[in-house]
Structure formats: structure tokens, C-alpha cells
Amino acid sequence: MKIALAQINYHIGNFDQNLKKVYQSINQSKSLGAELVVFAELAVSGYPPRDFLEFDDYIDKCWLTIKAIAKKTKDIAVIIGVPTRNQNVKGKRLYNSAVFIHNQEIVSVHNKGLLPTYDVFDEYRYFEPGNEFNIINYKNNKIALTICEDLWNIGDNPLYTINPMDELFKRKPDCIINIAASPFHYNQATSRKNTLLKNVNKYKLPLIYVNHVGAQTELLFDGGSLVYNSDGGLVSELKYFEEDLKVIELDNVIGFKEKVIQSNEPSKISLIYDALVMGVRDYFDKLGFRKAILGLSGGIDSAVTAVIAADALGAKNISGILMPSEFSSDHSIKDAQLLAENLKCESDIISINDTYTSTKDSLIEWFKDLVFDVTEENMQARIRGVFLMALSNKFGMILLNTSNKSEAAVGYGTLYGDMNGGLSVLGDVYKTEVFELAKYINREKKIIPENTIIKSPSAELRPDQKDSDSLPNYDILDQILYQYIELRKSPKELVKMGFEEALVKRILKLVNTTEYKRYQAPPILRVSEKAFGMGRRMPIVAKYLS
């Protein structure tokens, strides 16, 4: 039996467009001789549909889509993910389901048993866990159909008390199909393959895995759908960060007649780069925008952001604005201009001096002879924000935020100033990783000026300011942040690792007392296992390590 894996970039709530893509994949699968085409988890609703799931009308629209899809299943069967209504009196009102459709009929419905409710996942907010697990019989093949997390309760990850695949295995299936919505982080492809392989090895069955691809605001889906034979040999792998469709012959997989291939193993930094480019592209595409604006400071964060944006949207759609103040160094302007030249993107200089002066003058009665402090620093950042947003509004460009994760973590940024933007490109990338991205970008051709990479980072908001005036070196800072944010280590553990106690206390206090800033930050493209935003939920008025 020939099975097609359809890896699609869905758009949440855009039922017409998603249906069109599903139709195209069905037609293409038919033309390639497939007898079954497999789509991803919650393909019909898009993932994550979040609280749209609470709207009856949204669920109705999902089901109208399923009925439309069913009409196309005369000569081919379809497996596709869709929310279904729980018909029992008790429990949550929906299931996260996969339906098996054939001959214009919904033959069976399979409900997800393990509902991820951690980090960026909220599935138990909406869904009742399924507790019946049935096999699909189709063309003399017995298929164990599972949904994403259903295969994740294996080995040493005992988050759940049941194991759906153990139940399905009792019915002696010939293969496992897993439909997924598995968001990217830079370790995810590896960790996902490990988990899938553990299942293959445990049940000695071939496995077909179909994932989403594309970005849904902060969540990035990397695709990489694949097929393993029952020995754990990889026999098919779909593209990463792109839509794709492939057909495999199940009998050949079962009979070990499909050639085992080598998987791509890209570096962490190239994965992050590709994910961010896709994230920017889809954010604009799905919102119907083409042009981006950003401030170019001559520093490395705005340079890397500009390169990623140019790769995503085309350099002609990027507008880089230089906004020097009295504290800007000459080299900053030169570095920013050189970057724009290298990138071939538009760049303009707007001085903030007049507006900065008139703002200070308007406040002189209140400020009198109070000394220059963080107020005036923030003022410059906020005036830049006013200019960028004015251009954004006038010319219909989305402002890209250029903050990095290290800054976001310690609150080194101005709310309503340089924290502005529709989307944060680097907000989940530590400063030390930003440097690695710059090196990666320059690997063949010098796009980012050398001086931007080698000079000491500075916000240039007062004379001779350097980041290192108030922060430790980024290689130390990022290590502390990673241990605290990603690994949730305690101050005691950090000190045990060799970090200075006073420094640890100061940094953790900065992280915990700047939660109020991050609350109002733009959505951040997620590339790590613990990004700021929907996957990290912290109280604001707390007093812990602060």
C-alpha cells in the first residue's frame, strides 16, 4: 500500500486556504498512486488554535471542512487531525482527534490520549484525554494511529499514567502512524527522533510520522516528517522548514526493501537561522504584510535581525533606519550604513536630536537641574520608537524588534522604546548565540561588518557607555541565564557550579524583577526549549529571589 505524507504550512482559522492545500495534496497523492494520504495533527483547525476552540462556530467550521474533504476520498483514504466534540456527559467538551476517512465516509475517530500541558502547550485546557484506542484496518494493513504526545510516554519521561501505544500494540498492528504538531527548538529534531526510535525499537514496527511546517506567530514548526522501518532505519525524510509531500510503499518498508538513507544533521546555529527566517516570513505572509522596518544601530543585534529579515522578505522590502543621537559614535553610523550596502536594503538617517531636545525642554520645569539618569536614556530609546512607529504607520511596514534574549532576561531594554515591534526576531537567542549567528551569516561573504562583530556592545545612550558597565561579560551572563531560565537551577546550585554568589544574586534578581517588562514585549520567535512568552508564565507582583 502506497502512503503519502503531506507536510503542509497551515494558517490558523483560514479554512478556505487550508482546504485548498489539502485538496492539492490529495490530488497530488492520487497522481502518485497513493491509497492513503496522511496529514498532521489538528490540520483542519491549524495549530495551536488556542481559545478559538471555545467557539462553537469554529468547531462547526472544522467539521464543514472535514465533510468537504470526505467528498474527495472516493479513490483514496485520508487521515487528518481535527477537534471533535465529546459526546459523553462528563469531561471537557472536545477531543483532539484524528479521523480516518474513506469512500466519502468517516470510518473511525481516534482521540489523543496524552495531552501536553506544559511549556507552550495547553491541551488539557480544551481537550478530554481519549481512553479507547482502536486499530485501523485498511487494505489488509492494521494501522496503529497515534497523535503526537501519544508516543511520548516512553522511557524515562513518566508525565502520564497511561500509554496509548501499549494498548494499540495488543491489537497486533503492522505499522504505527503518528500525526503531530511538534514545535521547533534547536534540540527538537534530535530529541524527537530519539523518542520515535524508542517506539520503533520497543514495538518493532515501522513508523510514519507527519508534522506541521511553518510558523504560527511565535511557534515554529520545522517539518521533517519521516518514515522508519522496524529496524529503526530511516527510509524517508521530508524537507525541513518547507512544505513537502512524499509517497512510500508500506510493503517495501515492512519488507526492508526501501533503502535506508542518512538524515541531515544541521548545526544548532544553522537550524536557528533557518527557523528564524521562516518565522519572519510566515508572520508577514499570514498577516498580509510585505515590508519590514527596523532601527539599525550599527550593533550586532540589529545587523543580524536585518539579515534574517532580508532573507525572509527580500532586501528590497527592508527599511533600516539609523537614528543617531549626541551619544552615538561615528563608527556606529558607518557600520550600519555598510551593513545596508552589503545587504542592498534601503537605509535612512533620521536625527533624534531636535525631538530629544524639545522633549527635555518641555519637561524642564519638572526636571529642573536633576542629573541625567536612566530617564534620559529611556527617552532617547522611546523617541526612536516614535519615529519607527510613525514610519511603520505611514507606509504600512511592520516594525521588527531587535532585542536579544540576554537583554530581555535582565531587563536591559526600554519599554515602549527599543522593546517595540510586532515581532521579536532574536528574543529567544542569547547574545553569545547572536555572535555565532553573525559568524554563520558571514561564513562565505562578509555581510555584517567586522567592526560590528568585534566592538564592545553598547546602547550608546550616554557618553562612553558599554554593556559591560552594568552587566558581566556575556559569556558569563548567558551561562547563568541558561542555567536559571532553561534548567531552573537555584542560586545555591549556580554557586556550586563556580559562579560568584553576589553576581548570581544580582542577575537572578534582575530576571525576576523585570517580569513586568517582558509581559509587554512582542511575541518572540521560539528557538530554545524555554523561551520568554507563552511557554514561561511568571507572576509579576511576586517576591522570589528578588
Q: Which residues are catalytic?
A: 41, 112, 148
Select from 48, 295, 413, 427 the one that contacts a second copy (CB under 8 A).
48
CB 69 within 8 Å of CB 105: no
Burial 215-247 (b: 16+ CB within 10 A, else e): bbbbbbbbbbbbbbbbebbbbbbbbbbebbbbb
Contact call for residue 23 and a second copy (CB under 8 A)? no
Selected range binding a second copy among 70-78, 134-142, 172-180, 412-420, rule: CB under 8 A: 412-420
Select from 492, 496, 497, 501 the one that contacts a second copy (CB under 8 A).
492
Shortest CB 411 distance to a second copy, Å: 13
Distance CA 419, CA 520 (A): 9
Distance CA 206, CA 254 (A): 7
Tell me the residue type at 298.
G
Contact call for residue 198 and a second copy (CB under 8 A)? no
Contact call for residue 369 and a second copy (CB under 8 A)? no
Distance CA 438, CA 444 (A): 11
Residues 104-123 that bind a second copy (CB under 8 A): 117-118, 122
Residues 88-107 that bind a second copy (CB under 8 A): 89-92
Select from 191, 270, 375, 473 the one that contacts a second copy (CB under 8 A).
375
Contact call for residue 497 and a second copy (CB under 8 A)? no
Residue 139 φ/ψ region, left for φ over 0, alpha for ψ in the -120 to 50 degree band, beta for the rest: left
Select from 55, 105, 270, 446 the one that contacts a second copy (CB under 8 A).
55
| Residues across the chain | 546
Selected range binding a second copy among 52-60, 77-85, 137-145, 205-213, rule: CB under 8 A: 52-60
- Nearest CB to a second copy, comparing residues 46 and 457: 46
Distance CA 422, CA 249 (A): 45
- Nearest CB to a second copy, comparing residues 137 and 351: 351
Contact call for residue 540 and a second copy (CB under 8 A)? yes
Contact call for residue 539 and a second copy (CB under 8 A)? yes
Selected range binding a second copy among 255-263, 431-439, 469-477, 514-522, rule: CB under 8 A: 514-522
Of 154, 388, 173, nearest in space to 292 by CA: 388
Can the peptide bond before residue 48 be classed as cis, meaning omega within 30 degrees of 0?
yes
Contact call for residue 32 and a second copy (CB under 8 A)? no
Select from 97, 199, 355, 404 the one that contacts a second copy (CB under 8 A).
355
Contact call for residue 523 and a second copy (CB under 8 A)? yes
Shortest CB 39 distance to a second copy, Å: 19
| 369: CB partners within 8 A, 6+ apart | none
H-helix or E-strand containing 228?
strand 226-228
Contact call for residue 501 and a second copy (CB under 8 A)? no
- DSSP 8-state code for residue 291: -
